[in-house]
Chain A
Amino acid sequence: MELDAIRDTYFAECADQLSELETGLFSISSDGVDAETVNSVFRAVHSIKGGAGAFALDELVSFAHVFENALDVIRNDLSQSNEDRIDLLLRSSDVLTDIVAAARDGEEPIDCSEISAELEKEFNLQPMEEEEEVEFDIVPISLDDLTIQTSAATNKFEITFAPHNELYLNGHDPQKIFRELADLGSCEIRVNTEKLSSLDKFDTSSTELSWNITIETTSLENDVRAVFEWVSDCCDLQITEDETDALASDISIDDFLGDLSDLPEVEEEDDCLGEPQESEPLTVPDEQPGIAELPDLSEVSPEPALEIVAEEPVAEVVELPAEAPKEEKPAAAKKPEPKERARASKPIRVDSEKVDRLINLMGEMVISQSMLTLQINEAGFGTASPTGLALVELQNLTREIQSSVMSIRAQPIKPVFMRMSRVVREICSATGKKAQLLLEGENTEVDTTVIEGLSDPLTHMIRNSVDHGIESVEKRVEAGKPETGEIVLSASHSSGSIVIEIRDDGAGINRQKVFEIAVEKGVIQADSKLSDEEIDNLIFAPGFSTAEEITDVSGRGVGMDVVRQSIQGLGGRVSISSTPGKGSLFTLNLPLTLAILDGMLVRTAEQMFVIPVSSMIETISLRQQDVFQIGDGNMVFKLRDQLIPIVDVGYELGFLDQPHSYEEGTILIVESGNHDMSAFLVDSIVGQQQVVIKSMESNYQRIPSIAAATILGNGRIALILDIEDIVSRKTRETPTQPVLDQIA
């Protein structure tokens, strides 16, 4: 049982290592080779191999070993890398992924002798027995290399900084200077109290403190000097580039405090204060009244050093002034980088079900909150009353908790994108075409449910792009394009939704062929008049597949309509635009999260509906003079110089027998996927609120025009409108744009 758990952990880690491996190789193939990436790739394979040994996964160990040796060749000499080799390594990583998967699921081991042999041949590897021992020696070396590389480029400067009185009189502040220095690199700032007169002779208007600063930075001396540019007239400044530490002049804070505690009056205060001074000497300048009485001292006291330390993640430096272990300083200066890295990413593995439960509870909380809001409003508490204010506080908290909870689920889309690079490789080798995948915005964070649901449609679309979009090498050369086709996969956030684009520089859509096939398959009538855009989008129609013969790559009888369905299932939409000869662009719009939505609550036909705020542009109250009739009962709304078709929500959904009177009501201008605007007519707007999305499908089925449902504060259900669907239903009966243009 226990071993199973360890095994699970191993395979979970394998998944991480594999993705690291693939990411690394991918970046080498696109951005060129660099030592750091090669090292990380090497480490990934090595860890997989190490763990595999423990579980006696011999196949895996031996292949990982060959793989590792091949990588080692490049690691030892970066110039050994070339395109073919990287391509081979990428394919090897695919094989490694398969072997790991087979080992995890207890399937038959995959035969990898072929690719092993290929690797051995390509990289001139020697038989593995001989290398076994050597190879384990290599690992620590690789880590050493790393540390040296990260710190090699730094310069070390010794700075002596003694401000004159004018510096303070001119309103400068050493603290700010130190902070600026700290931005350049890791700083060690020591106050020099040599000249400080004893407290009884203390002159509050004169400056007696100076500082010795050691800074390790990648910046040049000029950059360091620039920090002091504004104060160079009113201080003594010395900047030397040095290897040795000028520690002799350093005076620890203990000495400084020692001086202070010699003073009788301060000691009295100490007695009253008791322990704090003893246990936390660094905080003394702040808390001790004896010092607070001396404005200058408190300003220029070691406090600045303390603050800088707080900004820098170097814990050691905090301790230094108090204990002054001088010998350790150089060591402390070296440490920050690894330490910061360790702190930056400290992921925990949590069962996704636990997170889902948290999200569900979050949803219930949003509902309870809106119930509470309703009750409080009905009880007549104003927003300025204590109850109202507490409610606002609660609402803010809920929002904050919600976004935190959502961010737990949000993950970079990278893993899915990386998988696509494998898809491209596989299809290229299956079709003999040449294509290259470029990724953009792969760190865009997306809800995990969306990510999970994206994998299949994306795979299908990428396959499609290579199979149908990118031309064969000969045709590309003929058309004057580079031999290798380019597919760009990009992700970005755009006003509350995620936009994913798949752009290829292939042949674009053959509209005539698409039209013929659509007629042949009975998707459209032979005499249909369609715009280019409409023809392009025919490929999403059910029962449509452009492949003339069914290839094993993308034609499997299911066409792009399956893609469209799965995207819609995620609450998103997909569209295509294409330029013949230039390529096609698929655009996916996906919601940020599948759990909660910012909704505008509207009332019409005696029912409440929710319209997603993300698709709303503005709201206007209806005036009769802005409504025009076009043709047979189609109404348009004149908004500034634009004519926008009116969608009477209640009538469109079949809740009203008669269309709205158009005498009163509210217009919501909404935008659908292809930037078409519609004017949604409702009785009134109730308000904006966050609503929890409840699936209609879990107990029922998909309903036309309805995206989902939600539960309102009064416990009733309101339907969330599917803007896209309503508009597309409506446009089938609305006059086409030319008619509208004429009237405008």
Chain B
Amino acid sequence: MSESNQNQEEFIVFRVGKQEFCIEITMTREIRGWTQSTALPHAPEFLMGVINLRGVILPIVNLAKRLGLPSEEPSERHVIIVVQVGEKSFGLLVDSVSDILDVNSDDLRSVPELNTKIAEEFFNRVIVLEERIICEILPETLMPDEEILAA
């Protein structure tokens, strides 16, 4: 994860509530509209359930809930970003996709010490632009661990 030799990295930027977050564009597979999901038993609250993505069962993470932000009932305005981590794919429910950014490595900073669990757990770097600050999320941290479910 060291700062790349290339100067440019590409990110997909999306909005949850009033904040903006991003993930590396290479990890995203597609963006699609919200569809009603099927809830799973014994699942953590942020795991909304599963949807049918062309015959594949795709779990959906409500990012607002995952990050502990206030969330609203999902509606047709919401967007699902399909992310692939290793062999597995899952969907991220976000409010909207706002941008695709080419970012100079100069503009990428490490996450400042915030003393919050969330920042530690999910954030990788921060993009600092003139009037915007965008936290980069590591998608692999979002899915629940096996132990959480087994409990």
Contacts and interface: CB of A to CB of B under 8 A. Distances in A.
The answer on A and B forming one complex is: yes
Interface of A: 363-364, 367, 607, 653-655, 694-696, 698-706, 709, 711, 715-719
B113 to A, nearest CB: 33
Contacts of A363: 55
Given A704-B149, A717-B50, A698 B38 contact: no
A711 B55 contact: yes
A323 B59 CA distance: 72
Interface stretch (B39-47, B97-105, B125-133): B39-47
Contact of B57 (A653, A698, A702): A698
Contacts of A364: 55
Nearest to A696: B57
B12 interface: no
Contacts of B41: 653-655, 703-706, 719
B8 interface: no
B26 interface: no
B51 interface: yes
Nearest to B84: A699
Contacts of B40: 703, 706, 719
29 contacts: A367-B55, A607-B38, A653-B41, A653-B42, A654-B42, A655-B39, A655-B41, A694-B56, A696-B50, A698-B56, A698-B57, A698-B87, A699-B59, A700-B57, A700-B90, A700-B143, A701-B146, A703-B41, A703-B42, A703-B43, A704-B42, A704-B150, A706-B41, A709-B57, A715-B35, A716-B38, A717-B38, A717-B49, A719-B40
Nearest to A704: B42
A704 to B, nearest CB: 5
A248 to B, nearest CB: 72
Contacts of A719: 38, 40-41
Q: Is the interface of A mostly helix, strand, loop or mixed?
A: loop
Contacts of B59: 699-700
Contacts of A654: 41-42
Contacts of B50: 696, 700, 709, 717
B30 to A, nearest CB: 14
B36 interface: yes
B88 interface: yes
B96 interface: no
Contacts of A709: 38, 50, 57
B39 A698 contact: no
Interface of B: 35-43, 49-52, 55-59, 87-90, 143, 146, 149-150
B47 to A, nearest CB: 9
A700 B88 contact: yes
A654 to B, nearest CB: 5
Contacts of B89: 699
B51 A717 contact: yes
A716 B149 contact: no
Contacts of A653: 41-42
Contacts of A696: 50, 57
Which 9 pairs of residues, A with B, have the shortest CB-CB distance? A653-B41, A717-B38, A700-B59, A711-B52, A699-B88, A694-B57, A709-B57, A704-B42, A654-B41
B58 A699 contact: yes
Contact of B55 (A655, A694, A702, A704): A694
A315 to B, nearest CB: 47
Contact of B52 (A700, A705, A717): A717
A7 B76 CA distance: 58
Contacts of A717: 37-38, 49-52, 57
Nearest to A360: B55
Contacts of B35: 715
Nearest to B56: A699
Given A699-B58, A703-B149, A716-B52, 16 more contacts: A607-B38, A696-B50, A698-B56, A698-B57, A698-B88, A700-B57, A700-B88, A700-B143, A703-B40, A704-B41, A704-B150, A709-B57, A711-B55, A716-B38, A717-B50, A717-B57
Given A703-B149, A705-B41, A705-B42, A716 B36 contact: yes
Contacts of A701: 146, 149
B139 to A, nearest CB: 13
A138 B35 CA distance: 73
B32 to A, nearest CB: 13
Nearest to B146: A701
